[in-house]
């Protein structure tokens, strides 16, 4: 994408992702009424369609500098991230935030044991973070964040942690629902800024490797976060596990504010590297 439209492209890509997250399970449930073989057949057909669409893409090759030593080997992306405080802070904060604040993995247990709602209520709770994220992505797509980007990113993670605490303390369906919507909104703010910042700070020659490192952080945080939520819920109970996770997320924000002052003070996105 051209740099001048990249922020809006990130936002609307996020909108499409959240729409699929919300609509996918609902459509799957309707298809299941026709039988499980229909669900898997449609899923298989869509995978084939996606593979075919990817095959039609034409690669756009960027000019790669021959003296770019950072991208000369397999670990070049990791070394680049470690040596760039802004990229390291933006890429890794999500790892720790979701690691500690992944309370959404406990939604079935909260629905049955604490909120005492049925499957319909659980389905509503599961879509709430996606709704908050989609609305936020649509808002920043129309009016992208251009000033105080560092504070906005930290603020989004802080909102994610605070919403997790409220969700853990809540015994009301509606309070929990609002908390999850705000949780998704805060997460989308940080995802939006992080996605733009990492891409613009990375030279073309090493962009693929850096994107791989960033994806590793995101993927690891999601999987490990769900595992951590299950373990802490077993140790401390559902509500305490969620509250402690939210508090830990806020602590991560506090630590990162001190460790990465350049990221905290960043006003505007830099010009593309």
pLDDT in tens, 141-184: 788 787 888 888 889 889 999 999 999 888 888 999 999 999 98
Helix ranges (H only) for 56-172 are 76-83, 85-101, 107-109, 119-142, 149-169
Cα–Cα dist 79/64, whole Å? 18
pTM: 0.76
pLDDT value at 130 more than 70: yes
What does pLDDT average to over the chain? Answer: 80
Model pLDDT for residues 16-27, shown as the tens digit of each residue: 776 777 677 767
Are the C-beta atoms of 209 and 81 separated by less than 8 Å?
no
Model pLDDT for residues 82-102, shown as the tens digit of each residue: 778 888 888 788 777 777 777
pLDDT value at 30 more than 80: no
According to the model, what pLDDT value does residue 67 have? 45
pLDDT value at 70 more than 70: no
pLDDT value at 71 more than 50: no
Residue 65 CA: distances (Å) to CA of 37, 81, 83: 51, 18, 19
């Amino acid at each position: 994408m051209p740099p001048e439209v990249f922020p809006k492209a990130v936002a609307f890509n996020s909108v499409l992702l959240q729409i699929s997250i919300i609509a996918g399970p609902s459509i799957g449930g309707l298809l299941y009424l026709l039988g499980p073989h229909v669900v898997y057949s449609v899923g298989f057909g869509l995978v084939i369609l996606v593979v075919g669409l990817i095959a039609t893409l034409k690669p756009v090759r960027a000019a790669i500098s021959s003296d770019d030593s950072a991208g000369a080997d397999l670990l070049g992306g990791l070394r680049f991230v470690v040596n760039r405080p802004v990229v390291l802070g933006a890429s890794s904060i999500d790892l720790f935030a979701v690691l500690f604040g992944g309370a959404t993995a406990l939604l079935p247990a909260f629905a049955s044991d604490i909120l005492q709602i049925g499957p319909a209520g659980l389905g509503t709770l599961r879509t709430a973070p996606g709704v908050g994220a989609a609305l936020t992505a649509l808002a920043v797509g129309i009016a992208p964040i251009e000033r105080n980007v560092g504070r906005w990113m930290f603020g989004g993670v802080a909102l994610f942690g605070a919403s997790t605490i409220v969700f853990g303390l809540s015994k009301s369906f509606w309070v929990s629902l609002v908390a999850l919507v705000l949780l998704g909104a805060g997460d989308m703010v940080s995802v939006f800024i992080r996605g733009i910042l990492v891409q613009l700070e990375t030279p073309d020659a090493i962009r693929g490797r850096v994107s791989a490192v960033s994806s590793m952080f995101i993927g690891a945080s999601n999987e490990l976060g769900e595992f951590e939520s299950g373990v802490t819920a077993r140790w401390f109970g559902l509500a305490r596990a969620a509250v402690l996770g939210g508090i830990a997320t806020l602590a991560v924000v506090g630590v990162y504010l001190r460790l990465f002052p350049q990221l905290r003070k960043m006003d505007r996105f830099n010009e593309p590297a």
